[in-house]
Amino acid sequence: MKENIKIAIIGLGYVGLPLARLFATKYSVVGFDINKERISELIKGIDTTLEIETDILKSVLQNEPSNKLGLYCTSDIKDIAACNYYIITVPTPVDKNNKPDLTPLIKSSETVGKVLKKGDIVIYESTVYPGATEEVCIPILEKTSGLIFNNHFFAGYSPERINPGDKEHTVEKIKKVTSGSTPEIGIKVNDLYASVIIAGTHLAPSIKVAEAAKVIENSQRDINIAFVNELAKIFNILQIDTQAVLEAAATKWNFLPFKPGLVGGHCIGVDPYYLAQKAQEVGYHPEIILAGRKMNDSMGPYVASEVIKLCVKNDIPIKNAKVLVLGITFKENCPDVRNTRVVDVIQNLKEYGTEVTVFDPWANPDEVKKEYRIETLRNMPQNKYDAIVLAVAHHEFLTIDFTKYLNKGGIIYDVKGVLKCEVQGKL
């Protein structure tokens, strides 16, 4: 343990908590979050995001702030005042018009600014467009603290690479990009992460380079998925099995194994808009990035329309047709519902006049209702349906006997292409 390092993690969600737990194995760490209910749960060793198991979380928890290694969770700003490294891991969403919403980043910068001292280092992990750290966040830190950047305090940027629900690629096993506001600070930031990240680190030459690297990682994935989504639409018209085509093409060593689907989540469905916004600010209209976003954003309505077409083909009356949607999280085996595009499927099905029931054993019904005004069930309903839409490939869904839940002539639409049973529609 290094006695002179005390770390504050600002934001204890899917990114912040795993990072705080990891650093707490070697340093004194204070985890700060404005959500008091979240803090209350964490103090008891309960992580509702399911990223950290209870016994592992309890093994690093402390009952009070101290200079000993371990993690103390709090919503009181006074508890982070003694820290000298502040790592900000708050979400960076987009608004209803797909414009970057930096509100959480701005407010967390104001919070840190209130306790910032000479010599402190503030590191941002939240995904942003290139330049946001130095153009938006640093001025807030200066104004709130009264200190001068790169004189009294310093900054770094190390983009998060957390994959929610992934128990194999955990935070310490993913190579970390790091950067600092000066060459010396870059080394300090890099050394800090290198002390706990077993996969190693990559020190970028500047904060802007690190910001850009993060935002293009997910933009690249978004564009590749958009390509196979377009292929799925084409092959559907040609009555060719998209999955079979992709399997055949994947036999070539350099074919990229992307699959069609609904693209949501906290990164891939959001990050391209951050890069596009910055490009437009400097006078460049990004055609490929926005085209990819347009294609992927169209997949919810497309899936709904395909389900309706199959119902019509099977002589199922559309008005009041009973539809069961399996899954509402943005990915399988994970409770994360942030920016899930399954809601697009549900809303479009309802617009056709169908009665939609949503079953997801992973999602928190209260969270879904608050975020999307959609009622969800955590237990499989014992009814029969005219159509079942597998929207998320939770492992619980893969062994369901669908014949028990379908009316005569009913259809199964497999968005993820994972079911072994006979289906009438899939991407």
213, 232, 258 - which closes a domain = 213
In a domain, 63, yes or no: yes
Report whether 186 contacts 154 (CB < 8 A). Answer: no
Tell me what pLDDT residue 165 has: 82
Q: In the chain, pLDDT over 70 holds for what percent of residues?
A: 99
**Average pLDDT of the chain, as a whole number:** 94
Q: How far apart are CA 274 and CA 255, in angstroms?
A: 28
Q: Which amino acid is at 282?
A: V
Domain co-membership, 69 together with 184: yes
Domain co-membership, 27 together with 158: yes
Backbone angles phi, psi at 70, to 5 degrees: 140, 180
In a domain, 276, yes or no: no
Closest of 117, 107, 115 to residue 140, by C-alpha: 107
Domain co-membership, 302 together with 209: no
Both structure tokens of 237: 């018209």
In a domain, 62, yes or no: yes
**pLDDT band (50, 70, 90) for residue 1:** very low
Question: What is the dihedral sign for C-alpha 404, 344, 415, 271?
Answer: negative
In a domain, 378, yes or no: yes
pLDDT, one tens digit per residue, over 373-409 is 999 999 999 999 999 999 999 999 999 999 899 999 9
Distances in Å between the Cα of 173 and the Cα atoms of 95, 136, 162 are 32, 31, 10
Residue 404: is it exposed, middle or buried by C-beta count within 10 angstroms (0-12/13-18/19+)? exposed
pLDDT, one tens digit per residue, over 290-306 is 999 999 999 999 999 99
193, 213, 233 - which closes a domain = 213
Q: How many structural domains comprise the chain? A: 2
CATH number, domain of 415, equals 3.40.50.720
Q: How far apart are CA 8 and CA 335, in angstroms?
A: 26
Buried b (16+ CB within 10 A) or exposed e, 213-241: bbbbbbbbbbbebbebbbbbbebbeeeee
Q: Which amino acid is at 248?
A: A
Q: In the chain, pLDDT over 90 holds for what percent of residues?
A: 87
HSE of 52, CA atoms in CB hemisphere, 13 A: 27
Tell me what pLDDT residue 269 has: 82
Q: Is the pLDDT of residue 366 over 70?
A: yes
According to DSSP, residue 119 is labeled T
Distances in Å between the Cα of 220 and the Cα atoms of 98, 123, 186, 273 are 18, 25, 26, 12
Domain co-membership, 37 together with 175: yes
H or E stretch covering 387: strand 385-390
In a domain, 326, yes or no: yes
Q: Which amino acid is at 20?
A: A
Tell me what pLDDT residue 169 has: 87
Tell me what pLDDT residue 240 has: 93
**pLDDT band (50, 70, 90) for residue 227:** very high
Both structure tokens of 160: 């998060």
Residue 106: is it exposed, middle or buried by C-beta count within 10 angstroms (0-12/13-18/19+)? middle
CA angle 351, 354, 358 (to 5 degrees): 100
Q: Which amino acid is at 359?
A: F
N- to C-terminal Cα distance for the chain? 51
pLDDT, one tens digit per residue, over 185-200 is 999 999 999 999 999 9
pLDDT, one tens digit per residue, over 126-183 is 999 999 999 999 999 999 999 999 999 999 999 999 888 888 889 999 999 999 999 9
Tell me what pLDDT residue 424 has: 72
Average pLDDT over residues 76-86: 97
Q: Is the pLDDT of residue 420 over 80?
A: no
- Please say if 267 is a catalytic residue: yes
Tell me what pLDDT residue 371 has: 93
Q: How far apart are CA 395 and CA 398, in angstroms?
A: 5
Q: Which domain holds residue 24?
A: 6-213
**Strand partners of residue 355:** 322
Domain co-membership, 33 together with 159: yes
Domain co-membership, 47 together with 152: yes
In a domain, 200, yes or no: yes
Both structure tokens of 115: 């306790």
Q: One of 83, 267, 311, 334 is an active-site residue; which one?
A: 267
Buried b (16+ CB within 10 A) or exposed e, 325-360: bbbbbbbbbbbbbbbbbbbbbbbbbeebebebbbbb
Q: Is the pLDDT of residue 287 over 80?
A: yes
Residues written for the chain: 427
Average pLDDT over residues 51-70: 92
Q: Is the pLDDT of residue 2 over 70?
A: no
Helix (H, G, I), strand (E, B) or coil at 9: strand
CB atoms within 10 A of CB 19: 26
Distances in Å between the Cα of 62 and the Cα atoms of 11, 73, 261, 368 are 18, 8, 42, 32
In a domain, 365, yes or no: yes
184, 213, 242 - which closes a domain = 213
Domain co-membership, 51 together with 192: yes
In a domain, 193, yes or no: yes
Domain co-membership, 26 together with 119: yes
H or E stretch covering 291: helix 287-297
